[in-house]
Amino acid sequence: MAKSKPGGDAKNEQLAKHTTDNEDQFLTTNHGTRVNDDQNSLKAGERGPSLLEDFIMREKITHFDHERIPERIVHARGSAAHGVFKVYDNSLAPYTKASFLTDPQAETPVFVRFSTVAGSRGSTDLARDVRGFAVKFYTQEGNFDLVGNNMPVFFIQDAMKFPDLVHAVKPEPHHEMPQAASAHDTFWDFISLMPESAHMIMWLMSDRAIPRSYRMMEGFGVHTFRLIDADGKSTFVKFHWKPLLGVHSVAWDEAQKISGKDPDFHRRDLWESIENGQFPEYELGVQLVPEEDEHKYPFDLLDPTKLIPEEMVPVQRIGRLTLNRNPDNFFAETEQVAFHVGHIVPGIDFTNDPLLQGRLFSYTDTQLIRLGGPNFHEIPINRPLQEVQNNQRDGAMRQQINKGRTSYNPNSLGGGCPFQARWDEGGFRSHTERIEAHKVRGRSKSFFDHFSQATLFYNSQSPAEKTHLENALAFELGKVETVEVRERMVGILTQIDRGLATKVADALGLPVPDAPEQPINHSVPADGDPQEYQPIDVKLDLSASAPLSMENTVKDTIKSRKVAILTADGVLTANVEAMLAALEAEGAKGEVIATRQGFVEGDDGKELAVQHSYLTAASVLFDAVYLPGGTAALVQNGDAVHFLNEAFRHCKPIAADASASDVLDGTYFGAGEHPGVFIGDDPAALAKAFKAGIRQHRFWEREIPGPIPA
């Protein structure tokens, strides 16, 4: 028996003191105080603002904000670009005094950062995940940060639960797996116990979670904010970003393969589009609700798990965002940019949304640890256009050199400077809101409808989108090892749509329960004891909402689409050149692929420049494929045949010269008639039909059971 090292037992005892086991233990603060309610932040009334004295929430979020150094805990994987925003002539002056939203002559510089949420800086762009869409407006009145996502709702209703959500979705702590993925036990265990997540799960399992590019995804402010006019009147507002290229996705199988072929796919796409002068463009839209209509709807405007259907309140498009310059230095700009929902300007204000209220604390706290101290606003990418004048001094990394002897207010020795600004001088004034309420930990009963909008979203999807969503749930829950968690999630799905629940349960080999397991309510009554969850059964007037389906998105452009042109020696040069010209005329880009890089010799002896070989290219990196004539040799090229098979499987447009039919006959789908496959002997007519197919983006009706190869 080997002797233990001197001091070994003492060392083990010391380590044991820092090892905790959560079984059969009460939840406490870091200082040992037992926690009565870990579900709700302390508020002035159930629908009122969160209170600064909530030491439990502050301790919890402070600890959470400081868990990673220096990488962002969430949204670590990001890409960014500079640009400009201009409001249209139909100004918002009747609703807000914010000049960048009211002056059509003003051109406001912006910096936009797109990101995934769950993965680390080194993870793939193509994870099934929420995408961040954060915009910093450098206005003449200070910086305004619209810190949103590509989905209009969120998983939770109260910021108190954000650390729990992120802990659950991050790699499991005992083995640090899986990276940038939600398909594991801890995430679905949490979600299955949080029915308020049902709506967001529908979005996350939909194709919205795997966008074709950052240029082709929507953005949302998520929360309800306020616009404040010159007289101090408030109007509720939801912010939207609408991409001019439409909203498009990739297939899940395709996303998995892109992650292996090019994990920087979205980052590269954004960078190259801007470098090529194909600037991403979005319109800013708003949904406006008069303050007197706050309680008009069958959902609560303060509930971040709810959206306002556009049929109820149309989105008014008020301005355009154009991204026209790439960062000069990734770290200095993309990595060091500090967004914060609390960065607002006169004319914009907050609501009492309890998720928003917690974010107002969390973001500054996060930047303090990430960026070295209280002077992160002096990093160039974070500096406002306005000169900063206040009495804040010193701190790590201070750059501003303040003159004078006074750093306090009021003062007489400095002439009273800097002065406070009145409202009519551009000073910020918080919206006056009457509050008479008990100080409670609780949640308004108006937040207790968790399924009506989840059902609305599912019912709004096209047949193909429904199939993708069902398959996504089956895939994710199929990765869950704990059967009880799978069963609980199927029970949740029965409350959204029983047909959906049945399909997912069948894929998992589970029965469909008559009713879901009843989670604990997130409201705590006066006696402090938890009570059983009592859902509110809300019936929406809408059975479906067209804007919720990508089937109804913009399909009128091929601008910036990438088209693979498969070639071999002897290819019909004139046909290739005609197709390249036809694509380029509408802003698409054709790239020649051959068995070797360099050049391929055409039928007329002319050399065509080759951008990729079959070894370095893959169909998943392109939007469409063209097979010109003179390529009969490709029928013997397994990589080329696989390229075509895979493009067909992923429902992409495919065009082929009639003389290339032999190559198509070598594929599994053949040269017959298929949706989105265009075959012809007239180059001009073929190009016209092909471009119409590319505008369509995908032909999802090809997703039928059959002998589809891997």
DSSP 333: I
For residues 534 and 678, what is the distance between their CA atoms, to the nearest angstrom? 55
Q: For the packed helices 354-370 and 162-169, what is the interaxial angle rounded to 10 degrees?
A: 60
Give the alpha-carbon dihedral of 258, 678, 615, 639, to 10 degrees: 110
Position of tokens 């005094």? 97
For residues 452 and 474, what is the distance between their CA atoms, to the nearest angstrom? 22
DSSP 605: S
For residues 574 and 398, what is the distance between their CA atoms, to the nearest angstrom? 63
Going through 62-199 in order, the beta strands assigned E by DSSP cover 78-87, 108-116, 131-139, 142-149
Active site (annotated) includes residue 149: yes
Query: Which backbone phi and psi does 596 adopt, to 5 degrees?
Result: -140, 155
**SS (HEC) of 340-400:** CCCCCCCCEECCCCHHHHHHHHHHHHHHHHHCCCCCHHHCHHHCCCCCCCCCCCCCCCCCC
Going through 296-345 in order, the beta strands assigned E by DSSP cover 316-325
Question: What are the beta bridge partners of residue 609?
Answer: 599
Pairing of strands 316-325, 78-87: antiparallel
- The full length of the chain comes to 710
Is the distance from CB of 151 to CB of 200 less than 8 angstroms? Answer: yes
Position of tokens 């040992």? 32
Distances (CA, A) of 224 to 91, 120, 230, 288, 441: 20, 29, 20, 10, 22
Question: What are the beta bridge partners of residue 680?
Answer: 657
Among the listed residues 40, 82, 143, 149, the single catalytic one is 149
Is the distance from CB of 149 to CB of 189 less than 8 angstroms? Answer: no
Is the distance from CB of 263 to CB of 198 less than 8 angstroms? Answer: no
Radius of gyration of the chain (CA): 28
Nearest to 578 by CA among 636, 535, 626: 626
Is the distance from CB of 321 to CB of 135 less than 8 angstroms? Answer: yes
For residues 454 and 199, what is the distance between their CA atoms, to the nearest angstrom? 4
For residue 234, the number of C-alpha atoms closer than 13 Å in the C-beta half-sphere is 17
> In degrees, to the nearest 5, what angle opens at C-alpha 522 toward C-alphas 518 and 528?
110
Question: What are the beta bridge partners of residue 172?
Answer: 177
Is the distance from CB of 218 to CB of 246 less than 8 angstroms? Answer: no
Query: CB neighbours of 583 closer than 8 A, spacing ≥ 6?
Result: 558, 561, 563, 589, 590, 687, 691
Among the listed residues 75, 377, 468, 697, the single catalytic one is 75
Is the distance from CB of 696 to CB of 555 less than 8 angstroms? Answer: yes
Position of tokens 């049929």? 311
Q: What is residue 607's three-state secondary structure?
A: strand
Position of tokens 């998995």? 256
For residues 150 and 130, what is the distance between their CA atoms, to the nearest angstrom? 7
Distances (CA, A) of 8 to 1, 14, 18: 15, 10, 16
Is the distance from CB of 40 to CB of 523 less than 8 angstroms? Answer: yes
Active-site positions? 75, 149
